[in-house]
Amino acid sequence: MSKTLIATILASSFAPTAASLAAADATAGQATFHAKCALCHSAVAGQNRVGPSLFGVVGRKAGTAPNYTYSEANKNSGKTWDEATLDIYLTDPKALVPGTKMIFPGLADATDRANVIAYLATLK
């Protein structure tokens, strides 16, 4: 099965619903972010680490954070980081964007993903 097909199946099977995002807890998401994401990503605008700053990521086109060197796969993915796309990516980054340099294996728990996305949505 191709990775594109897997990503499509994931999109239809696991994408968060409006209800699950509405019930998400941004405070819990912040804690998960600090435990799982902050080693590589900053929540501060313009502060890149191993990965790009995630300030303003919700709604941003993939591969466009200033002053960060993205993989060609990410820059050319055509993705926009909306809630549904972030949910799929955070489930399995390499399945959604084959060739990404992000080594994170993903967040298996749907509640953790929804909470992290809710937190990321506050970073404006």
**pTM assigned to the model:** 0.84
Reported confidence tier of residue 23, pLDDT bands at 50, 70, 90 = confident
* Topology classification of domain 3-122: Cytochrome Bc1 Complex; Chain D, domain 2 (1.10.760)
Separation of alpha carbons 31 and 12, rounded Å: 28
| Torsion angle defined by CA atoms of residues 107, 8, 42 and 75, in that order, rounded to the nearest 10 degrees | 150
Exposure of 108 by Cβ count < 10 A (0-12 exposed, 13-18 middle, 19+ buried)? exposed
Rounded mean pLDDT of 46-70? 97
- pLDDT band per the 50, 70, 90 thresholds, residue 5: very low
Structure tokens at 21: 């995002």
User: Cα 56 to chain center, whole Å?
Assistant: 12
Q: Per-residue pLDDT averaged across 58-71, rounded? A: 97
- Kindly tell me if the per-residue pLDDT of 4 is higher than 70: no
